Structure 1
Amino acid sequence: MTTTLTNELKHEIWQLLREYQQFRAADVRNQLVKLNFGLVRKEAHYWTNQCQESYDDLLQVGCLGLILAIERFDISKGHAFSSFAIPYIRGEIQHYLRDKGVTVRIPRRWLALQQQAILVSRSLREKYNRQPTDSELAAALEISSQEWQEIKLAWANRAPLSLDIPVQNGDEGGTLLGELVPDNRYRSFQLAQEDRIRLQQALVQLEQRTREVLEFVFLHDLTQKQVAERLGISVVTVSRRIKKGLGLLKHLMCMAED
């Protein structure tokens, strides 16, 4: 019975999203917010345990992220709405906390697992001669795939994206991550929240190894040599991955802007 109701709810949400995309009616949007409010509650509850802000305040902020997700969702791309909306909700809450100067802590257990994952990933690469999947990493760490995804998100979002770091690409000069953002007004460290979310969603769509290279360079400020050593690949490969990744990101960002 529960599965049937869940499927019925998903169908109802999908139909409303289709209707909203066509007519942009406020009452349809409000209905979508009501039906998806559980996503906001879950995120608000999580972040309440990470800071001193009130649950009600985080609910209100999270709803802004949900509304933004509803506005930007494109049913033609076939994504699940919940997977699309959660980064918007989470991003809005994190942006709010950072603006208030709130220090968001990552659980010590997650920090330890993230460090352990680096060693485990290297071992699995040697065993399988390829990059391990998220499921394989989670199994090796003896945690659920869902918890591993939460750890990855917490680690990636623990600090704002450093968009002004230049990356040298051989003879072609340097590239700034902020240059991928279509709106020139936001090509700075203080990137608009909506564009930050769009950028992070584009990163998620990249092949895992390419995404890892970009995250190590732009999020963790590692040199190309350090990235090569950490991932067990050559500096030339790192440079190629950066060039390829930046090109794909630019394409994905322009698509999102359209």
Structure 2
Amino acid sequence: MTVTKTADAQTRVLPEIADPSQVAPKDARQLTRLFLDQLAVLEEGTHEYQYARNTLIEMNVTLVRYAASRFRSRSQDEMEDIVQVGTIGLIKAIDRFELSREVEFTSFAIPYITGEIKRFFRDTSWAVHVPRRLQEARVQLAKANEELRSRLGRMPTVKELSQLMCLSEEEVNEARLASNGYNSASLDAAISSSDDGEAALADFIGLDDNALELVEDFNALAPLIAELDDRERRIIHMRFVDELTQAQIGEHLGVSQMHVSRLLNRTLSKLRTGMLATN
């Protein structure tokens, strides 16, 4: 591979990996950072660029399988589709990741992967292919059923539904038939068994990870910190990374605690203003 220089970095020969999908997770983390670093300086469309990108995809497919494992109640065929869709999210994460954000790639990629999987479920929740007009009619039918049941105190007839929905009785029957193609299950439905007894679908529904909400904040904050001068960044690091007191920071800088307090408040105000401007 030809070594070339750019304004920010220098490309170098990447290690040849025979089977990236077999790389151990503990090694994949370090190699991922190396390949992402080189991907940022390689020219798009070159053989080296494609090798780096394809290797990153194969090496991190375990992230996709991890995200897909939350939906293990699905059939084998569905799981293969879920992994394929999740891989699209992984590719988007690789193409959009920037090392300058100082965020772990895993934390950055998982939301992209799960987002694609959720979008897949939203768009393909029908057990059989149903025309769009009938999918929309099913929703309209459910609302009409609820309204008439509340009003009449009984199940409405097809004629009553057709009048409320402004559809023919034949179209109402089609919408009813289409409803049978929608795949749904009770959260209490048993989906597997183990030594401890049957497991319900609700047992496999994950909780929202509040820490993921911090990813966007970190991404927005990183360039703002990069714009600070050396002393401001040093103060921020000592206060929030080293967790030094203002008095200890003052000793390191040779200034009073009061002066450190003023500098810290001014820097935090600058960062706060920048964060508000990006939202």
Structure number with bigger Rg: 2
**TM-score (normalizing by structure 2):** 0.38
**TM-score (normalizing by structure 1):** 0.40
